Copies of this chain bind each other. A is one copy, B any other.
Amino acid sequence: MRFKAVARVENGVTETPEDWDKVVSRLVFEKEYTEGLKGAGHFRHVWVLFGFHRMRTTLMTVHPMRNPDIPEVGVFASHSPTRPNKIGMTKARLIRVEGNVVTVKGLDAFDGSPVFDIKPPEEEIDYRPARRPRKSR
């Protein structure tokens, strides 16, 4: 299946920083998707599905966190970007949504990464039925 970037990450980060948690990123959506962001600012966090677009390596087993002291596990038992499909999935703090730009904190994606999707965390969803006006008879 082919996926297109609905947004790009803008954060100026080109090398692994000391602490991704402190990184603020702007997800700049294609204008055609702006309407899809309606109500997206309601949540405290947001799942971001993005591409590890600089990663070319695929490994079946890895030392988690590139720590050679941690025994090797399968790549599917880890979050290593060396997975067959280079898809990252991170729950970031949602700062704000303005127009076509979603600003988040704590996203571990390099500058220019394609964003495929964002989703609200299940546990923060609290849709409520609107009160409907009663029909007068």
Contacts and interface: CB of A to CB of B under 8 A. Distances in A.
A56 to B, nearest CB: 13
19 contacts: A1-B86, A2-B2, A4-B85, A36-B74, A36-B84, A37-B74, A39-B77, A40-B76, A49-B87, A49-B89, A64-B127, A69-B130, A69-B132, A71-B130, A76-B119, A77-B120, A78-B120, A79-B125, A89-B89
A35 B61 contact: yes
Given A1-B2, A6-B85, A76 B33 contact: yes
Interface residues of A, number: 55
A65 B127 contact: yes
Interface of A: 1-6, 33, 35-40, 42-43, 47, 49, 51, 53, 60-61, 64-65, 67, 69-79, 83-87, 89, 91, 114, 116-120, 122, 125, 127-130, 132
